[in-house]
Amino acid sequence: MRSDRALWQTLIAQSEGEPSVLLPKIEPHPAALVVGLGGTALGLWATRQASLPWREELGWLALAMVVAGMLMWTLMKRRGIGWRLDFASRRIAPEGEPGVPASLDAPGWRVCCVAGNKRRSLALEFRHEDGGRPLRVLQTRAGADRREHELVSRLADVIARRLSMSREGLSL
């Protein structure tokens, strides 16, 4: 998607010069699920009510709600959630979601670009040499194209350079 590429380019620019950057969690807005499930429930309820006036119209409304929910799922993304990376203090903290802040000041941290857990996605992680659980801070959407992956790889390069860390994993 063109808007996703613009997002990555903006993140690269912010990472090159800003004191901190929000690495967003890209996920559908929950309103999409509510609208889609509401349409499904309305449709199921309307089909069981044989004597209901406007039954056919309610069925069309239910179908429209399901289609709207699917479109919202594809197009609407949550805003303001993810991980805030502060370059000066070398800290990363969750914003708008659960998680534990981490200090990247200790030696042994590195930035990794790895395959994500969604189909054809790329993830950005911070890993420590002690081998603890990686801190996944960013992941592209499922089915992202090569140009998006190249931009995320460039973002990993910029972050590694700004934090004076090694950079590992996929390099595009």
| Dist. CA 82–CA 34, nearest whole Å | 22
Contact assessment for residue 125 and residue 112, using Cβ atoms and an 8 Å cutoff: yes
Contact assessment for residue 105 and residue 163, using Cβ atoms and an 8 Å cutoff: no
Kindly state the percentage of the chain with pLDDT values over 70.
97
* Each residue's pLDDT tens digit, 60-99: 999 999 999 999 888 887 778 889 999 999 999 998 888 8
* Token pair of 86 as six digits: 């502060």
| Dist. CA 98–CA 93, nearest whole Å | 10
Q: According to the model, what pLDDT value does residue 2 have?
A: 52
CA angle 68, 72, 78 (to 5 degrees): 155
* Token pair of 11 as six digits: 């993140």
Kindly state the percentage of the chain with pLDDT values over 90.
33
pTM of the model: 0.74
Contact assessment for residue 93 and residue 21, using Cβ atoms and an 8 Å cutoff: no
* Each residue's pLDDT tens digit, 121-161: 788 888 988 877 888 888 887 777 788 888 888 999 999 99
